[in-house]
Structures are given as structure tokens and as C-alpha cells.
Chains A and B, each alone.
Chain A
Amino acid sequence: GAVVSQHPSRVICKSGTSVKIECRSLDFQATTMFWYRQFPKQSLMLMATSNEGSKATYEQGVEKDKFLINHASLTLSTLTVTSAHPEDSSFYICSARRSGGITDTQYFGPGTRLTVL
């Protein structure tokens, strides 16, 4: 149980285009989903937290107009990188948590490698 899928696993796009990444909890309902980014040789950095049906909360320094997050259902959250540029090339990974308990486990997807040319 507690499987999270992420699609696509890899994407290459041209500068200026938008890319959508999907995160799905396959066998549980996720009240909260999280989006992280990892630059080479760095740790996972939280970008934003989203609760189903409400606006995402973005971390300091993360542009909400550039990284659009939608959490339309208890099993699906999407991250759209708008007008992507080479500096947005990174590894993006989502996680999902069942309940509101902050010590509850976050279950991670396998991540998406984004390359912007």
C-alpha cells in the first residue's frame, strides 16, 4: 500500500514552453501533497504544500506564478512549470500524506527529471 506515482519520469522541453507534472496517490487519499526540487548534489528542497481544494502554500523564494500547483482531488496534484527556462532544469519530486498529522509518513513518487533546452 501507499504508492505514489509521478508522470512523466523524464521530460525535455524548449525554453519558453510549459510543462505539467502529475502526482497521484494510487491506493490512498492524500489530504496533503508536497512538491520538492533537487538540484545536483543538493538535498531535497520543499517548494510548496498543497491541500485538496485550497490554494498551495509556497516556500520563500518559490515563484507561485511560475510553479502552478493544483490539488483538485484527494488523489491528484499537478505542478506546471510555466515558461520554463534552462535554470528550471532540475529533479522534481512529490509526496503525499494521508492525514493531517505532521508526523505521519510522507509517501514519495519516483520523481521527474526536467531538462529545459
Chain B
Amino acid sequence: ILNVEQSPQSLHVQEGDSTNFTCSFPSSNFYALHWYRWETAKSPEALFVMTLNGDEKKKGRISATLNTKEGYSYLYIKGSQPEDSATYLCALIKAAGNKLTFGGGTRVLVKP
């Protein structure tokens, strides 16, 4: 069983504050890591695909980093806004694999 862990499971953030959370995964046979944002009653939205150790990706106020040697990725939200409220999912692809193995998600609630 491939364990992809996300922490914390949920967090409350005050509007305007910045926050970050973690996706941990087995470092062996790493191929790629996907991040998604999933708002209630909508389709999960692709944020990033990360493949290289040390990768940093940015989309607006959201950014992510990747450390494949130690097996973790951080996702950062700068200056959180209520529209950032969602569940953020990471998903791992192992080498020679085809499928995404998802973590349990971090549910973010931004309070005005």
C-alpha cells in the first residue's frame, strides 16, 4: 500500500494571513506529484504537476515546492482569501506507474 499523507487534515485561516500545509510520500521510485484544489460541488481543479527535486511552481497566490529525496511537498497560500476555501489534494505517481495515489486532503477554511 502506498501511503500519501497530508497534514493537517483541516485548518482555519484568517483572511489576509498566509498558510502552508504538507504532502508526504515515499521517496523511492518517485515520478511525479500532482496538486489539486477541490471546492465543494465542483470538479477538482489541477494546480500543479511537479517532477523535479527542488521544483517550485506558482499560480497566483498559491505556490508549491517539492523535495523528492525526503518525500514531501509544501503548498503555500499567500494572503488567503475566502475563495481559497477548498480541499487541497496531492497525488503521487510512482515510476513506471500510471495511476494517481491520493492523499486524504487538507481542508482549508478562510474566515473573513
Quick one: which of B21-52 are within 8 Å of A by CB?
31-32, 34, 36, 41-44, 46, 49, 51
Binds B, one of A12-20, A43-51, A72-80: A43-51
Cβ A46 vs Cβ B100 within 8 A: yes
Cβ A43 vs Cβ B44 within 8 A: no
Binds A, one of B12-20, B64-72, B73-81, B91-99: B91-99
Cβ B99 vs Cβ A44 within 8 A: no
**Residues of A participating in the B interface, judged by any CB pair closer than 8 Å:** 4, 32, 34, 36, 42-46, 49, 59, 93, 102-111
Given contacts A102-B93, A105-B46, contact A44 B102 (CB under 8 A): yes
CA A44 to CA B44, docked complex, whole Å: 11
Given contacts A103-B51, A106-B46, contact A42 B104 (CB under 8 A): yes
Those 6 A-B pairs whose CB atoms lie nearest each other, nearest first: A108-B44, A103-B32, A44-B102, A43-B102, A105-B46, A43-B104
Q: Which of A45, A59, A106, A110 contacts B42 (CB 8 A)?
A: A110
Given contacts A42-B104, A103-B49, A110-B41, contact A34 B89 (CB under 8 A): no
